[in-house]
Structure 1
Amino acid sequence: MTTSEPPSAQPSEPDREEQAFRSRMGIAGGVFLLGLTLFFGVDTIIRGRGDDPWVALATLLFLVPLIFAFTIRPAVFADDARLRVRNPFRSITLPWGSIADIRASYSSEVFTQDGAKYQLWAIPVSLRQRKRAARRAATASQDDPLGRTSATADVTDTASRTASADQTVADLRELAERLGRRPENKGEPRIRWAYEILAPTAAGLVLLVVLLSLR
């Protein structure tokens, strides 16, 4: 009696490693501002007189989380199951099936099936970069009298003629359209407030107001 071997399983698509999108300019600016703020704040704490050290401490407690939140914290993470958006004061987890569209106009935004809209702080839109990309695209589309493509640009290099934010949004939109059809990627958005940012900011603000009112 012979036994037949079970049919071999079809190879599945490997899971996508989580890809992160962040603003390098935002991070660089945040590191600079944090360094400057800490330098002056610590200097005042050490050398200040009277209640100046306490005012400086309250100011640091208020400003440092804010600077971090708006410059270094923002990020967008994408894998095979979901899109995670980390904005200054909250994090939004969006299964691909819950996303209706991702667009970039004056800012990058993701729209859900239930009509909600969330900004993508980590993918800022640069109008100057967009204008430069439009000029490169216009130059590349011009043909010389002999019918050859302009030598100043390569028509096959579409990425070089697209603003980085627009290209990133286009890539994320393609992922949403492809992965959103998977049944396992259905679900509702989940939102978590960044209390680790909000709590010290609020405490610093309250302390700063109290100290200044007592002067």
Structure 2
Amino acid sequence: MELGYGTTGLTDWARRVPGRVHRGGGRNLAPLPADVDHIVVAALPISGLTAWQGLFDHARLAAGHTVLVHGAAGAVGSIAVQLAREAGAYVIGTGRASDRDVVLGLGARAFVDTGDLGQVGEVDVVFDVIGGQVLERSAELVRPGGTQVTVAQPLDGQAVFFVVEPNRAQLAELAERVRTGRLTLRRPPRSPQPGGPPARRSSRWSRLSRSSAQPPGRRGAWDRWAPTRAAPG
């Protein structure tokens, strides 16, 4: 695979060389389909891999399982809903009441307001990105032999806490799903143009996007995850 603008990936957390892939970095990259919006697919290395690894590597989700996905309309949760549905699981999504139509449209079989988890019943898997009281209450919903996974915080043996890791094979699988329309990614809002009105900072997407006021040579968190150009040699 030739490195360049046709690739996407996630750098090792210990490597802080924004915007350039040096020798050995290609092991974390996957081909980027030419017909896929590069801005949209930039969500895959973080959000996509988090959803994939949480569901399949840590929770061992399988067909016939019931999975509760918190934050189901968000960047990670929306991908988790679609992956779980395609795997043959019964998906229950949570969020605010205004998220209902979006979550059901992604393929969830049911939607529950995050503040009303008592009506969920037992589930095989809980996929959490929120933490706090939501994580604690969700532990009571996991049936014996089930698993709760979270990227928010450890919970004294009641949840599997994990940090997403680079994985070229999984990233390629996700990119192929996007290319074939089996996986839909929510597009982040555009950053404001210079001289224009300030962007609203109300969503996780906008917090991750690059500010147009950033000094030259500085790169934000979103840029570290976007498709990057390889360094010669």
TM-score with structure 2 length normalisation? 0.24
**Structure number with larger C-alpha Rg:** 1
- Structure 1 or 2: larger helix share? 1
TM-score with structure 1 length normalisation? 0.26
Q: Which has the higher contact order (CA 8 A, sep 6+)?
A: 2
